[in-house]
Amino acid sequence: MSRNRRRDKAIYKLGLRIAIYTGLISAVLTFIIIYTFDHGWEESLLISAMVMAATALTSYVVGYKLQYRRIKVLERVSKNISKKRFEEIEDLRTQYDDELDYIIKHLIKSSRTVEREIQRLNRIENYRKEFIGDISHELKTPIFAIQGFIETLLNGALEDEEVNKKFLQKAMRNVNRLIFLTKDLMEISKLETGELKSDIESIYLYEIVHDVVENLMYKADKEEVDLIIHPFDRNIQIRADKNQIRQVLVNIIENGIKYNIKGGKVEVGIEPNKQRADKIDLFVKDTGMGIDKTDIPRVTERFFRVDKSRSRERGGTGLGLAIVKHIIEAHGEKLTITSEPNKGSVFSVSLSKIAS
Ligand SMILES: Nc1ncnc2c1ncn2[C@@H]1O[C@H](COP(=O)(O)OP(=O)(O)OP(=O)(O)O)[C@@H](O)[C@H]1O
Ligand SMILES: [Mg+2]
């Protein structure tokens, strides 16, 4: 039997059942009333039988008309859900505000939940595919480099003390890159899937800035870059996740040092936010190579590097600013980048100040 015929038969059965019940109830009631008013039982029975037939017929016709269209709607909704055609469900309307309409409305609502969930899973799945592709690509470079060094050593270079030390050091540098890469990858995947939550509390900005700058001073010295902090009020408190803000600062200042020139400068400081009195901007300004206008929106993308070989050579994997962007967004704050090639860049992060 076709699906449509099965559906029509079901509606017909339902209508028949309603007709029998309403007919029987009205017949019994009519019989009681007429019999009470002293009519004979034969006459009462005849009138009741007529009332029963009329009620049953009316309720069958009305019930059938009322239900038929809506059962078809119900059927369409469930059919569309199973075929994942959610946009078609939007057009379906109900009109009586009764139990059947309630079920239809609920089913439409559930279909939206299913749709959102499918979209979320698709997004995660696409993210996962892209992420795995990116990772395997990034892992290949240091792994092949290590393989190359070991092969050369095994092929005889091991005998030469001068060469083997140099090669082992190079292999070690690549191992270190792999270690940093794994750490950053774990962090970014947690941030991107929303697994890592920010632990927001009141923190003193001064302490964090000074601590981070102190820790990076040796890197700046090594690169012959002048790293300075513009003095600011020690008592300024912000609402943020301490470790995450520290990470933001490390990543941005490290870039300022890394993409700078010998004798260059990195300045760290705060200034009032131009739009909001309850915020301040923490800025990191460098006199480095700068970023081309077209590349500015892309530097916060995962694995994006303006000059891949230069970044790799300096140990960069292109994850630092992607991590920064996610942390800043999770805080509901904004990262602003202004830059001019060969002149330098300014990375500015808005922060929520606590009124003192
Ligand atoms: N201050 C800067 N000056 C010039 N270019 C920059 C600056 N900061 C970032 N960039 C460019 O943006 C790219 C992305 O930066 P990001 O910090 O995300 O990655 P990375 O420094 O290459 O690697 P990682 O930070 O993961 O070690 C860099 O490769 C670099 O090309
Ligand atoms: Mg970086």
CA 120 to centroid of chain Cα atoms: 8
- Position in ligand 1 atom list of the atom nearest CA 312: 22
End-to-end alpha carbon distance in the chain: 78
Architecture label for domain 131-192 = Orthogonal Bundle (1.10)
CA of 346 to the centre of ligand 2 (A): 14
Q: Are residues 257 and 337 in contact, defined by beta-carbon separation less than 8 angstroms?
A: no
What residue's CA is closest to ligand 1, atom 23?
A: 316
Q: Are residues 341 and 289 in contact, defined by beta-carbon separation less than 8 angstroms?
A: yes
Q: Which of 188, 259, 285 to mutate to test the pocket of ligand 1 (most atoms within 8 A of CB)?
A: 259
Is residue 349 over pLDDT 80? yes
Topology match between the domains 131-192 and 201-354:
no
pTM for this one?
0.69
When mean pLDDT is compared over 138-147, 282-291, 295-304, the highest value belongs to: 282-291
| Phi, psi angle pair for 221, to nearest 5° | -60, -45
What is the pLDDT confidence band of residue 286, given thresholds at 50, 70 and 90? very high
Is residue 148 over pLDDT 70? yes
Is the four-CA dihedral 15, 16, 20, 21 of positive or negative sign?
negative
201-354 adopts what CATH topology? Heat Shock Protein 90 (3.30.565)
pLDDT tens digits, 300-318: 998 888 877 666 666 678 8
- Spell out which residues line ligand 1, taking CB within 6 angstroms: 184, 251, 255-256, 259, 286, 288-291, 299, 304-307, 311, 316-322, 345
Is the four-CA dihedral 253, 258, 263, 264 of positive or negative sign?
negative
pLDDT of residue 227: 97
Q: Per the structure block, which two tokens stand in for 265?
A: 């400068």
Side chain identity, residue 287: T
As a whole number of angstroms, the longest Cα–Cα distance in the chain is 127
- Token pair 């941005």 is found at 252
Q: Which sequence spans correspond to the domains of the chain?
A: 3-93, 131-192, 201-354
pLDDT tens digits, 228-281: 999 999 999 999 999 999 999 999 999 999 999 999 999 999 999 999 999 999
| Phi, psi angle pair for 287, to nearest 5° | -110, 35
Q: Per the structure block, which two tokens stand in for 352?
A: 């929520």
